[in-house]
Chains A and B, each alone.
Chain A
């Protein structure tokens, strides 16, 4: 898959799935993003992106446990795949190369 086919929000969700390593599910990912990035995320947007990432085979999922708080409904746990890891590593490299190319003087404020 081409790395440019990954949107900004998709990349954030993919990174968060990697952070939560095997414990990532809809609400858990939203909470993590809201805590870390101070950004409001709706369940609709999150579920849409998760389904899209699964279609692109960047994450895989399986059913987890249920709880009273969820009305006895099971969680769907997401895990990053090898292709997912590859694409975020590639993105990181590209961004780092851009950061490295910025002249140091740009960040010198008087």
Chain B
């Protein structure tokens, strides 16, 4: 099909609607096909009819196989990668926030007395736990698997913390 690009423009609303619902994986190829069809319609029919036929094609494309996973419709930033990175940033931001709790408590109570090494060890523990949970959420697809593995990681974190603090197993690293 050889033709020149039409001076007539496809209806913006229909094009925006298509870009919104179309699975990002298919967007480029199908939008190209739509625009090629529109140019063909513009050569063959009047501008208004070409616009109507374009809108009709957009409506006919609105089907599950083209929409794909509805995830991209609900997330404004359609990239899943960005969502994962956002979650990682939240985890990393949560670590100093949690470490602020004993730091503030130390100012008001003598019961809390953390040394720099305590903050360092706790920081490493929290970072390790957070990164492990993030790894599980990225690699494990099933919700059940994610919950089980994250609970195991969090439980291990609590055990190590308790061992370092009060020594429940009597390892060489046990605290008093």
Judge: A and B partners, yes or no. yes
A2-40 CB contacts (< 8 Å) to partner B: 25-28, 30-31
Residues in A with CB closer than 8 Å to B28 are 63, 73-74
**A47 to chain B: which residues have CB within 8 Å?**
26, 30, 33, 61, 65-66
Q: How far is the CA of A43 from the CA of B31 in the complex (A)?
A: 11
CB contact under 8 A between A71 and B1, given known A47-B61, A48-B63 = no
Say whether B32 contacts A71, CB under 8 Å.
Answer: yes
Could you give, for residues 21-61 of chain B, a 1 whenever the CB lies within 8 Å of some chain A CB and a 0 otherwise? 00000101111111111011000000000000000010011
Q: A26-B30, A73-B28 are in contact. Are A43 and B37 (CB under 8 A)?
A: yes
A28 to B29, CA, bound (A): 12
Total residues of chain B contacting the partner, CB 8 A: 24
B33: chain A residues within 8 A (beta carbon) = 25-27, 43, 47, 70, 75
Main DSSP-derived SS at the B contact region? helix
Interface residues, chain B, with chain A CB atoms under 8 Å away: 1, 3-5, 26, 28-37, 39-40, 57, 60-63, 65-66
Given A43-B60, A69-B3, 12 more pairs with CB closer than 8 A: A25-B29, A26-B33, A43-B34, A43-B37, A43-B57, A44-B57, A48-B66, A63-B29, A69-B4, A69-B35, A70-B33, A70-B35
